[in-house]
Structure 1
Amino acid sequence: MPTDTRHVLHTIHTATNDILSGYDTMVERAEPEILPTVRDLQRMHREHAAAQANWLSRFAESGEDDESFQGSVNQAVVTIRDWITGLDENALSAVRDGEQKLLDVYDSTMTDWTVDGDADISDGLTRQFAEIEDKVAALPER
C-alpha cells in the first residue's frame, strides 16, 4: 500500500470518484423512496472528493484523472440493476456494500501511511472515514 501522502490521496480520491460515478447514475434512476438517501451520499462524497482534490493541489497535482474502470462498472451495475429489479429500498443493501468497500480502501490505504507533516490531511481523511461509517450504519443490511 502507498505510504506517500500523494499516493494515499490519489488512491482514496480514485475510489471516491468511482463511487460517485455510480451515484451520479443512480440519482437519475432511483425510486423516490431512496432518492434522499442517494442524494445525501452523493453530496457527501462530492464534498470529500473536493477536499481530496484541494489537498492534492498542495503537491501541484490535480487529481483530475483519478477515476478507474471501477467507476464505469459502478455505472453499469446501477443501470442493469434498475432494468432488472428497479432501484428501490432493496438496492440500499448493495449501496451499503459499496460504501463498505470504500471504507476498506480508506482503511487499507491509511494503515501503512506515514503522515510526515501532513497531520491536517490525516485528520481530514479520518473525519471523512467517520462520516462514511455513520452513513453506512444507517443503511439496511442484507
Structure 2
Amino acid sequence: MNTYMNMLEWEDDAIPHRLWIERLDNNQTRLCMKVIKDVDPEMLYLELPVSQEKVMGAWQGRAAAVSDAYDDGCLYSQVRSLFNLDNGCVVWTVNHIQLADNRKMSADKLAFVPGMTHDQGLLKSIYATV
C-alpha cells in the first residue's frame, strides 16, 4: 500500500470514473472521485474519519443501489452506497443531466452517513437491535 495515495479499482469496466484515497496527517483519509461526463469532469472529495487501510478493506469494487433510479430522459438520479465502515457508510448521489445541446453533465455528491450501514439495498442503523 502506498502511504500517500491508493487507487480503488472498479469491477465494472463500463464505469469511467476514477476513485482513489489519500492519506491525511491525522490518520484520516480523503476519498477522491473524478466523475467523467461529456461536459467537464467533476472532482468530488470527502474526508473520512478512518485510515486508508480501513477504506481499502471496505471497498468491494462496486457501488450498490440504495434508492431506485429515476430516469425521465433528461435527468437520471440515484443514491448508491460505496462501502460500509465501522462507524457509518459512504454514499454517492449520482445525478446526470442532459443539457439543451444533448451533452450530459453530472451533479454528483459523496457523503459520509454516520451510524448507518448499507445492507441489501437499504440504509440501516448500525445501532439497531434485531
Judging by fraction of residues, say which structure has more strand. Answer: 2
Judging by fraction of residues, say which structure has more helix. Answer: 1
Q: Which has the higher contact order (CA 8 A, sep 6+)?
A: 1
